[in-house]
Amino acid sequence: MVTRKHEESCILIVGLGLIGGSLAAALRASGYGRRDSDDLGGFGPAEQIVACDPDPDEIRRGLEMGLIDRGDTRLERVVDGASLIVLAVPVLAMRSVMGELARYLGDAAGDVVITDVGSTKAAIRDCALEVFGRMPANLVLGHPIAGSEKSGVAAADPELYIGHKVILTPEPDTDPAALARVQAMWSACGAEVLEMGVERHDQVLARTSHLPHLLAFSLVDTLARQDERLEIFRYAAGGFRDFTRIAGSDPVMWRDIFTANRDAVLASLDDFEAGVARLRVAVERGDGDAMLTIFDRASHARHYFESLLNKTSYQAEYQMQQQGNLRYRMSPGGAVVGRIRVPGDKSISHRSIMLGALAEGVTEIKGFLEGEDSLATLQAFREMGVAIEGPYQGRVTVHGVGLHGLKKPSGPLYVGNAGTAMRLFAGLLAGQAFDTELTGDTSLTKRPMNRVADPLRLMGAEIDTAEGGRPPLQLHGGRALKGISYDMPMASAQVKSCLLLAGLYAEGETRVSEPAPTRDHTERMLAGFGYPVHRDGDTCWLSGGGRLTAAPIDVPSDISSATFFLVAAAITPGSDLVLEHVGINPTRIGVINILKLMGADLRLENEREVGGEPVADLHIRHAPLKGIDIPLEQVPLAIDEFPALFIAAANARGITRLRGAEELRVKESDRLQAMADGLAAIGVEHTLYPDGIDIVGGGSAEGSNYGGGRIDSLEDHRIAMSFAIAALRASEEIIIDDCANVATSFPGFVDLARKVGLTLTEESGEEGA
């Protein structure tokens, strides 16, 4: 429905086929021009929908269906009085129609907004330049990404545009008011309106729409000319019918589209033919690995990018902002009991794919974290030619290509929200022979990358970043890397791992010294893959030129994910919870040490080692917590767990003090500030410092320790989950905005939270609703 008042007295649709007729039907359904409503969507009862079409039968049908108020086969008879004109004619007819408009509108041309629905924009822009001598400021080119194999006004569908995208391609001097009026029209039809440059539009649509239609036409034509064509079509399965359905589309329209967008279509066809040629060679040779690589990459690309587009703020294709807001509504109170296993460790999941891809042989992985961050790493390696089977119920099989077997991806590698993936990829890709671009979502593009780019440059890498050393990263291949000795200015496992991965490709020895201990998964896993890594005190090193040998990996549960439930049980009277198979790497157990110092009843049971990583079941019961001064040496061991630990502090008796944690300011959000703002919203007394915070806990044995409120998670999954568990001791409900990225870090969080006793409702809607 329309959300603003507009003054369109008359909308003229030139071309009353499927697209134009459906537009008229959708406008009618939204209330435009209806005589039975004084204010449906802000339109007045005097409005009209008028049509022009060379076929008088189409005009007659439009009138009979109630879609238009009047119409004619001649444009000059209906153009007078139109406030907005929609050109829904074939692309090759645009020039003549624009010429007529220029003649009939005359001096009034500047007062009328004109738009179109063509599938190719450069050709239509050229028509406008030829007819008008310039791009009129009131001409807004557009393209609804919707349609059907049916044609004609009889097939008009008032719901054709609901939930579909309409791409507008405004020029720099397009009148903003004209743009807004076209946006309003399409929004009234239920469409999602986006903007894109003309050239980019034509390139994208050539690949996503024009090429599939071209292939469908060609396939059906090829099969229909064969002698056994009747048998072929009689026994065609669903896949054939689904793919070839679009071959029933209007041939004239598609002839015009292919003619108008010739260069972009040919470029996309060249790419496709090259891909088919590669597949043909694999089939001829019986090369099962090559076929698997192609099929697997395609299958998972389809599912991966669809899930990103549907569930997150993925912006690689249209640079669009996520619409709406996934919100958690947390009811106060509850208990935390049971026995659960949280998803696999994200850090180890990332590294298992990376090292498995670079190893020689086949790596079998169990317990893989099937979250969006880890899936982004999987997809990136598929795009570099690595065959990967799965994931299926946490199992992944990686067919390694060796240290020098990666292939240049066809475009930028998109890693979503995964800062770990981007920083580790930077080191791994710095030593490749090809150029690569690393990009991510809006949150990731705000995070600093010079901390890895600068030392990589010292090794001889050539890396370009965006302003402020932020993504995207452009890595120029073919550079000879040399080992360096690097003293890290901050404690960061990502920086250390990045340099060690680059060191695999460097001449000589790469040594990294850290100011405080950080997680050592990379060193442990490199050793597990047979690559020698040495350590002496705070320094680790390796020499380039070795090789990795495939090895099985059993990914332990992620202690960062387990932390939310550890804290939930620690603060809630009556809680008794067991978290199974949790990784307790000595460089990751800061949260365990800190909770114990605060008085938590936390025990490690069934301790064992799996694939070089220590693992245990964590058994925690409620016990009164006390405020502490968090030891500095524990800070880097718990850097990702502090948002949840802040909630523990809010429920402890006395003051908890944290210092030396400035690293929290450069995570997915400024987590010190975000948590401080959230604590203020629910009434927890605190004092914020540049490198830490003091939190004054309520510490009551029963009842609530603070109030409720509304939290802005800043699209940071850890902020969202931390305040979700805070609701256990709140006096009123807590509402948490922008929670969609929780799936990035912790798939299944909502189900597990409900399973152990939290009352969590997911909602979607606009801000302030």
* Residues 410-447: tens digit of each pLDDT: 888 888 778 888 999 999 999 999 999 998 877 788 88
Instruction: Return the closest-CA partner of residue 381 out of 352, 409, 360, 402.
Output: 409
* Residue 657 labeled ligand binder: no
pLDDT at position 518 over 70:
yes
50 phi/psi in degrees, rounded to 5: -120, 150
CA pair distance 353, 388, nearest whole angstrom: 9
Q: What angle in degrees, to the nearest 10, is found between the helix axes of 346-358 and 521-528?
A: 40
| 280 annotated binding-site participant | no
pLDDT tens-digit map of 245-302: 777 777 777 788 888 778 888 888 888 888 889 889 988 998 887 887 788 777 766 6
Q: Is the pLDDT of residue 223 over 80?
A: no
pLDDT at 211: 83
Residues acting as catalytic residues: 640
pLDDT score of 373: 80
Given this model, what pLDDT does residue 391 score?
85
pLDDT of residue 708: 95
CA-to-CA dists, residue 252 to 45, 89, 147, 257, 763, angstroms:
37, 11, 15, 9, 46
To the question of whether residue 757 is assigned a binding role by annotation, the answer is no
| Over residues 638-661, mean pLDDT | 96
Amino acid identity of 483? G
pLDDT score of 236: 60
* Per-position DSSP letters for 450-508, written without gaps between them: HHHHHHHHHTT-EEEEETTTEEEEEEESSPPPB--EEE-SS--HHHHHHHHHHHTTSBS
pLDDT-derived band at 234, boundaries 50, 70, 90: low
Q: Lowest-confidence range among 179-183, 484-488, 612-616?
A: 612-616
pLDDT digits (tens, 9 = 90+) for 378-391: 889 988 989 888 88
Query: In Å, how far are 166, 195, 410 from 96, measured between CA atoms?
Result: 24, 26, 40
Q: With a cut of 50, say whether residue 43 has pLDDT above it.
A: no
Is 285 in contact with 118 (CB distance < 8 Å)?
A: no
pLDDT category at 34 given cuts 50, 70, 90 is low
- Confirm whether residue 667 is marked as ligand binding: yes
Whether residue 462 is predicted with pLDDT greater than 90 in this model: the reply is yes
Between 237 and 706, the higher pLDDT residue: 706
Q: Find the range with the poorest average confidence among 182-196, 217-231, 736-750.
A: 217-231
Strand runs labelled E in 162-318: 165-168, 192-195
Residue 169 has pLDDT above 80, yes or no: yes
How far apart CA 761 and CA 767 sit, in angstroms, is 17
Omega of the bond prior to 391 within 30 degrees of 0, cis?
yes
62-76: b (≥16 Cβ within 10 Å) or e: beeeebbbebeeebe
Among candidates 729, 382, 390, 363, which has minimal Cα distance to 549?
363
Residue 310 pLDDT greater than 70, yes or no? no
pLDDT exceeds 80 at position 656: yes
Whether 60 has a binding-site annotation, put simply, is no
Q: How confident is the model at residue 316 (pLDDT cuts 50, 70, 90)?
A: very low
Average pLDDT, rounded, for the chain: 86
pLDDT at 36 over 60: no
Residue 176: is the preceding peptide bond cis (ω within 30°)?
Answer: no
Query: For residue 321, what pLDDT band results from cuts at 50, 70 and 90?
Result: very low
Per DSSP, the three-state class of 509 is strand
Written as one letter, the residue type at 453 is A
Measured CA to CA, the distance from residue 373 to residue 285 in angstroms comes to 36
Q: Over range 65-93, report the average pLDDT.
A: 91
**Confidence band (pLDDT; 50, 70, 90) for 304?**
low
Residue 366 annotated as binding?
no
Q: Are 155 and 248 in contact (CB under 8 A)?
A: no
pLDDT of residue 57: 92
The residues, ordered by sequence, that sit 6+ positions from 593 with a Cβ below 8 Å of its Cβ are 634, 637, 638
126 versus 702: the higher-pLDDT residue is 126
Residue 622 confidence class, pLDDT cut points 50, 70, 90: very high
Distance CA 542, CA 501 (A): 10
Tokens for 609? 């080692």
pLDDT score at 249: 72
Q: What does the pLDDT read at residue 336? A: 95
Give pLDDT, residue 335.
Answer: 85
Length of the chain: 769
Predicted confidence (pLDDT) per residue in 82-96, tens digit = 999 999 998 888 999
Question: Which neighbouring-strand residues pair with 543?
Answer: 509
Show the domains of the chain with their CATH numbers. 10-196 (3.40.50.720), 204-285 (1.10.3660.10), 327-339+557-764 (3.65.10.10), 346-554 (3.65.10.10)
